[in-house]
Structure 1
Amino acid sequence: MNRISWLAVPTEDHTHEGVLKLWQKAEANLGFIPNVFRAQALNAEQFLAWWTNFNLLVNREGHLSNAEREMLAVVVSGLNRCVYCAVSHGAALRTCTGDPILADTVAVNWRHARLDPRQAALCAFAEKLTLTPADMTEQDLYPLKQAGLNDHEILEATQVIGMFNMTNRVSSALGFQPNTEYHQQGR
C-alpha cells in the first residue's frame, strides 16, 4: 500500500470500533475505504466528531443540492490547492452531475465553466470567503440573494465552505493522498 499520510495510519487491529463500522459502510457503498477515513482514524474520537459534522453538511439532504455542495467543495479545495479534496470531490461532482467537463473545469477555474447565475454566485462567494475572509461584508450576500438563494441556503453554503476550508487544511498539512479510485469515478 502506498503511503497515504505523513503520520502513522492505524491498522484494523488498532482501530476504534466506531471507525471500523464506518470503514465497513464506506467499503460496502463505495467499494473502497477513503484514505481520509484511514488517515484520520489515528485520533478516533476526533475523527468521528468531524465525520458527524461533515456527513451532515455534505452528504445529507439539505437546502442546497448535492451538486451545489460538491461544486463548493471543488472550488474551495482547488483554491486551497488541497490535492485530496480536489480529487475526491471532483469525482463526486462528476458523479452527481454526470458531467466530467463541468467538474474538471470547475476544479481548475470555475469562471470558465458553463454555470447558471446561481452556481456562479455560489462559486464567487466561496472564492471570496476562502481567499479573503476578513474582507467579507453584508454586500457579499447580495449576489447570492439576487441569484435566488434564500437565507437557509446561504447559511448552508457558508457552513459547507467553512467545513472544506478546515478539512483542506488538515488534509494538506498531513499529506493525505487521494485513493486512485477517485481518478476514474464519473468518467
Structure 2
Amino acid sequence: MTGFTTERLGWRPWLEPLTEDELTDAHHEALVDRARAASPYFRLLARDPDVLHARTKTDQDIFYNPDGGLPRAERELAATATSRHNGCVFCASVHARFAGHYSKRPGDVRRLLDEGVDARQDARWRAIIDAAVALASTPSTLGPEHLAALRAAGLDDLAISDLVHAGAFFGWANRLMLSLGEPTQEEK
C-alpha cells in the first residue's frame, strides 16, 4: 500500500480476528453498531468487548456530538492531520473523506494528504493542523503558541477541547491500528 488517498481501503490484521459467526450478543453490544461486524479491525478489537465498547462510545462522542464546539468538518480535519503525521494511511483515508465532505473543501484536504501537514492552508486550518500535529508528536509539543493561534483563528475553549479530543483519540487509534495490521486496496 503506497500513498495517502481518499479512496476506501481495506485492512488486514496480523492477528486473527473473531469471525462474524463467533460474535455473541456481548460482542455486538460492544460494537455499538452491528454493521461494524463486517470490519476485521472491529472484530479483532471485539476480543476485549469492554474496551471496544468504551473506545466506540468515546469515538462517537468526539465526532458525532453536535452540542457546540468545533464543527464536524474540523474535528475530521484534526483526525486527518494526526493520521497523516503518524503515517496511518487507513485512518487518513476515512477522515479525509469526511473532512472534505463536511467542509466542502476537498482540494484543501487533498493537498494535506499529498503535500503533508506543512502544506499551505488558510489561517484557521493551519492552526488546527499545527495543533493536532503538535499533540500527536511524541513527546507532545503542543504549547501556548498553538493555543494562541487557535484563539486568533476564532476557536473558543469548547472548540479547542474538541480539537484536543479528536487529535488525542487519533494519536492513540493510529498507533493501535498500525500495530495490529495494515491497509489494503479494497476489493471492488
Candidates 147, 161, 173, aligned match of 2:167: 161
Distance 1:93 1:26, change over 3 A: farther
Candidates 47, 53, 57, aligned match of 1:52: 57
Aligned ranges 1:139-154 → 2 under 5 Å: 139-154=145-160
Flag structure 1 segments of 5+ consecutive residues without an equivalent.
none
Distance 1:18 1:177, change over 3 A: farther
**1: CA distance between counterparts of 2:38 and 2:70?**
26
Aligned ranges 1:45-84 → 2 under 5 Å: 45-62=50-67, 63-84=69-90
Candidates 17, 23, 27, aligned match of 1:15: 23
Candidates 34, 37, 40, aligned match of 2:42: 37
Residue 4 (structure 1) aligns with: 12
Q: TM-score, normalised by structure 1?
A: 0.80
CA RMSD of superposed structures (Å): 2.7
Distance 1:19 1:105, change over 3 A: farther
Aligned ranges 1:113-152 → 2 under 5 Å: 113=120, 115-131=121-137, 133-152=139-158
Residue 4 (structure 2) aligns with: none
- Structure ranking higher in strand proportion: 2
Distance 1:99 1:180, change over 3 A: farther
- Structure ranking higher in helix proportion: 1
Residue 119 (structure 2) aligns with: 112
Flag structure 2 segments of 5+ consecutive residues without an equivalent.
1-9
